[in-house]
Structure 1
C-alpha cells in the first residue's frame, strides 16, 4: 500500500469519530474563516478556512483538522494549499501519552505534488491549568513520503525517508475571553537529511457568544526544498473563529 493511502487510513483511524462515544466524552469543534478582497491599484483576494474537531475521554484524546488557503492577485492564483492531519493519544496516566499522527499536504507552489507523513511516539503534558491552559511535548519516529511536481536533477520523482519528529504546544488562557497558542514542530529526515520545521503563533479573543477573532503568524522552513523553491514560507492571517 502506498504511504498516501496509509496516511488516509490513519487519518480516518484517528478521527474523533473512530472512538465510541461515552458518557464521559468531551467533544468540541471549531470553524475558522478569513476573507480579504482588495481593489484599485492592487486587486487581490485572500481566502483561509479551517475546520477542527476534538474528542476526549478518560483514556483517549483525538484531534482532526482540515484547512485550505487560496490567494489570487490580478486574476492569477499566487497561493493554493490544502492540508489534513489527525492525531490520537492513548493516555498512559494523567500527563503521559502515546501518540499516532498522520498528515497530508498539497501546496501548489511548494514544488511538491503532495507531502505526507506518519509518526508515532511518546508525549507528555508537562504543565496543565484549568481546561484551556497546558504545555505538551512529544517525540517519535515515523516515515515521510513526498512526491515532486517534476523529477529532480537526478530524475527522482519522489523522496522518502524514516524521520524523527519533535513537537511542542503551549496553550495559555490569558483570560476567560482570550487565548494564546504557540505550536512548534520539526521532522528530521534520518536518511535524506531534509528537515521540515513549522511554527504557528496565534492569539484569539472572544467577540460575542461563540464567535472569536483570531490572528496567526505561521512559518514553514524546508532545509532542502525542490530546485528553484525558497526554503522558508510565511503567512499572516486574520480570521473569524466559531466554536461549537
Structure 2
C-alpha cells in the first residue's frame, strides 16, 4: 500500500505545480504531503496527501478538494481513507452566493463502504479583511447516500435521507507569512435526525517562497455510527505545503 500511495502523493505536487503554471491569475491552492516512517522497536508508516484548488472568476468560484490518509503498524493497516469534494459558488454580489456541493468519502475502518452527499444552498462572507482573512457562513439542503459494510439490524445495506447542511469557515492572516484556519460543517438528517459533524483547525507558516509547514487537528463526530465503529474520530497532522 505504501508503494501504491507514494506516487499518488507525488502526483498531487505535480498537478498543483502544473495548474499554477497554466493560469496563475485564476487558480490558487495548495498541495500537502506528510510522511513518517519508523523502524527498529516499532515499525510504522504514516502517509498523508491532500490537494486543494480554487478557481475564482468574476461570477463563479469553484473549489476542488482531494485527500488521502494511510497508516501501517507492524505490517498491519491501521487507517486508510480517501476524500473528494467539489463546490461551485455563483456570486450574487461581493459577499453573497448560492452553491452546489458534492462530497465522497471511502474510509476502510468507518463501517461504511462509502459515504456521499449532495447539497445546495446560500452562503455569505459576512466579514472580510484584505485578501486572506474572512468569515463565511452557509446553509443548504440536499441528500446523502451511505453504503454500509454490513447489513444493519433493520436488514438494510445502505442509509439514505434528505439532509440540511450548516457550515462555517474562518481564515485569519496572522502575519504576511502565516495563516490560521477553522472550518466547521454539519449534515443533519431530516428523517432519522442523525448528525455528521466535522471540525478542522490548522495553522500554517511559510518558510521558503511558496513552501509552508502546517499543523492541523481534525475531529469527526457521527451521532449514528455503524455498529462496531467509533462515533468520534480525531486526526493530528504535521505536513509540508506547496502553496500557489
Q: Determine if the TM-score, normalized by the shorter chain, exceeds 0.5.
A: yes
Q: CA RMSD in A?
A: 1.3
Partner residue, 1:176: 176
2:228 is the alignment partner of 1:214: no
Q: What does the per-residue CA deviation read over 1:167-203, in whole Å, with 9 as the maximum and x for residues that have no partner? A: 0000000010000000000000001221000000000
CA gap of 1:161–1:25, structure 2 versus 1, over 3 A, is farther
Partner residue, 1:122: 122
Q: 1:42 Cα shift?
A: 1.9
The 10-residue stretch of structure 1 (29-38 or 102-111) with the greater mean CA deviation from structure 2: 29-38
- CA–CA distance in structure 2, aligned partners of residues 143 and 59 of structure 1: 26
* Alpha carbons 1:25, 1:55 under 8 Å: kept: no
2:238 is the alignment partner of 1:238: yes
Unaligned runs of 5+ in 2: 1-22
Q: 1:25 Cα shift?
A: 5.9
Q: 1:39 Cα shift?
A: 2.1
TM-score by length of 1: 0.89
Partner residue, 1:59: 59
Partner residue, 2:43: 43
- Give the 5 Å matches for 1:97-136: 97-136=97-136
Q: 1:52 Cα shift?
A: 1.3
Q: Aligned residue pairs: how many?
A: 222
Alignment partner of 1:230: what SS? coil
CA gap of 1:24–1:239, structure 2 versus 1, over 3 A, is closer
- CA–CA distance in structure 2, aligned partners of residues 30 and 96 of structure 1: 25
- Give the 5 Å matches for 1:1-244: 26-244=26-244
CA gap of 1:97–1:25, structure 2 versus 1, over 3 A, is farther
Partner residue, 1:8: none
Q: 1:24 Cα shift?
A: 11
Q: 1:228 Cα shift?
A: 1.0
Q: What does the per-residue CA deviation read over 1:10-69, in whole Å, with 9 as the maximum and x for residues that have no partner? A: xxxxxxxxxxxxx99621131100001122322111100001111001111110011000
Stretches of 4+ aligned residues off by more than 4 angstroms:
none
